[in-house]
Amino acid sequence: MIKANDPTRRSWVEVPSGSDFPIQNLPFGVFRTKSNPSPRLCTAIGESVVDLAVLNYMDLLDDLEIDHEVFNNRYLNDLMALGKAKVRELRDRLAEILDAVNDEAKQLSWHFLHPMEKVELLMPVQVGDYTDFYSSLEHATNIGKMLRPDNPLLPNWKHIPVGYHGRASSIVASGTPFVRPQGQMLPPGAEQPIFGPTKLLDFELEMAFVVGKANPMGKPIRIENAENHIFGLMLFNDWSARDIQGWEYQPLGPFLAKNFASTVSPWVVTLDALEPFRVAGPAQDPKPFPYLQFEGEKSFDIDLEVEIESESGAKATVSRSNFKYMYWNMAQQLAHHTVNGCNMNIGDLCGSGTISGLTTDSYGSMMELTWRGSQPIKLSDGSERKFINDGDTVTLRGWCERNGIRIGFGEAVGKVLPALTD
């Protein structure tokens, strides 16, 4: 058993009921404060941030065989590079420090504990490359019905985890606003494209996994070893401009419709912390090729929700879904990504693809929820949304919960600003 996951453990730090960050979670992030603007590594517990650089300075992490300079880094990449065994030791040690029986640490807490509301949480990972998958059977079928009613699912879909290479530079941390993208679109019934701001701005409810162990070029990651290369998960909103996408995606797939902004949560939750929430995924038929076959449970029971809030404060929770619905799991995605010898690097990010379930309220995009705008959603003030308006804020939330233990991811929040048309 992983010591930090002990469900009986309690902390001297107050953890409100329903918190995403009990002592059994201990995710990793990067933060700074007004009094000390230098970025450094942290973890979360309750409504507080724990400064790992200060814990190290106070010699509370001395018993770990870790290069302690990693705690002063701008990103988590070097910490991930230490390997899962070292990071597991660190989480176990943090759990001991924050345990209710550790009165000495409690007395020293004013040195390393910060209210989360008073710190700035930064982009936690330096992303070198980014791949987005298309792995929800329900999502792929729904989109296919709109484009190809007689043949919604393309013949390759149940044989390979379909994906595309995206743009890493426009992945931003939660709370970062972005401007409405512009591009070419072909209006319904038109023969020539037009140029302007997208009219069909959409969110995509996704999770993303972070690569924590590289593989050499030419050496695929075998599926039984795939999770050894995955450090943890984040919430991921793959913003999309559907009208731009519709005009450009043939013949080479997404381009400007997808590379203007993607929003991630500021916390990376380790696979160790998610271990108690493993579940079996959907049955796969036809049987995948041997390199995609696996034993055991490779999916995770992660509840997800999406909220839209207007500038006036009107809001609505528009989707409630779950990560376990994904047809292709992370191990299969990574095994397929590298089967041709593709080399993954520490910090690379892989999006799950839009997560949609069987019911209409579990769809993971406005494209599906409003069926391309034909069935608008109402906010709390009665206003309607077919897609996302300027000034709207979209918030993704995710958590696992079992036997009184809740492991959450925080929030991935993004606000849409008007297009820059000058």
pLDDT in tens, 115-170: 999 999 999 999 999 999 999 999 999 999 998 888 899 999 999 999 999 999 99
Residues 52 and 174 in one domain: no
Give me the number of domains the chain comprises.
2
Give me the pLDDT at residue 149, please. Answer: 86
422 assigned to some structural domain: no
Strands of 105-220 (E only): list them.
Answer: 113-115, 120-121, 130-133, 163-165, 171-173, 178-179, 182-185, 194-197, 201-202, 205-211
- Catalytic entry in 68, 111, 114, 139: 139
Residues 51 and 158 in one domain: no
Domain boundary among 103, 121, 139: 121
Residues 114 and 135 in one domain: no
pLDDT in tens, 364-380: 999 999 999 999 999 99
- Amino acid at site 35: S
Q: What is the CATH number of the domain that holds 267?
A: 3.90.850.10
Q: What is the CATH number of the domain that holds 64?
A: 2.30.30.230
220 assigned to some structural domain: yes
Q: Which residue bears the tokens 């450090």? A: 231
Residues 142 and 251 in one domain: yes
Q: Which residue bears the tokens 């992030």? A: 29
Strands of 122-186 (E only): list them.
Answer: 130-133, 163-165, 171-173, 178-179, 182-185
**pLDDT higher than threshold 90 for residue 338:** yes
**pLDDT higher than threshold 90 for residue 405:** yes
For residue 4, name the pLDDT band (cuts at 50, 70, 90).
very high
Active site residue 139: yes
pLDDT in tens, 179-220: 999 999 999 999 999 999 999 999 999 999 999 999 999 999
Q: What is the mean pLDDT of residues 322-326?
A: 98
137 assigned to some structural domain: yes
357 assigned to some structural domain: yes
Please name which of 136, 27, 14, 93 lies closest in space to residue 399, comparing C-alpha atoms.
27
Domain boundary among 97, 121, 145: 121
Residues 102 and 148 in one domain: no
pTM (two decimals): 0.97
Domain boundary among 72, 95, 121: 121
291 assigned to some structural domain: yes
Give me the pLDDT at residue 215, please. Answer: 98
Residues 14 and 103 in one domain: yes
Residues 104 and 147 in one domain: no
Range of the domain at 44: 3-121
- How crowded is residue 293: how many other Cβ atoms within 10 Å of its Cβ? 13
Q: What is the mean pLDDT of residues 49-59?
A: 97
Strands of 82-138 (E only): list them.
Answer: 113-115, 120-121, 130-133
**Cβ partners under 8 Å of residue 307, min gap 6:** 315, 316, 317, 318, 394, 395, 397
Q: What is the mean pLDDT of residues 50-66?
A: 94
Give how far Cα 155 sits from Cα of 94, 143, 159, 355, Å.
Answer: 49, 15, 8, 20
Please name which of 15, 14, 2 lies closest in space to residue 405, comparing C-alpha atoms.
15
303 assigned to some structural domain: yes
Residues 86 and 145 in one domain: no
Residues 174 and 76 in one domain: no
| Percentage of the chain modeled with pLDDT above 90 | 96
| Mean pLDDT over each residue of the chain, to the nearest integer | 97
68 assigned to some structural domain: yes
Whole-angstrom distance, CA of residue 250 vs CA of residue 67:
48
**pLDDT higher than threshold 90 for residue 421:** no
Residues 342 and 226 in one domain: yes
Residues 296 and 384 in one domain: yes
Bridge pairing between strands 205-211 and 230-237: antiparallel
157 assigned to some structural domain: yes
Residues 56 and 194 in one domain: no
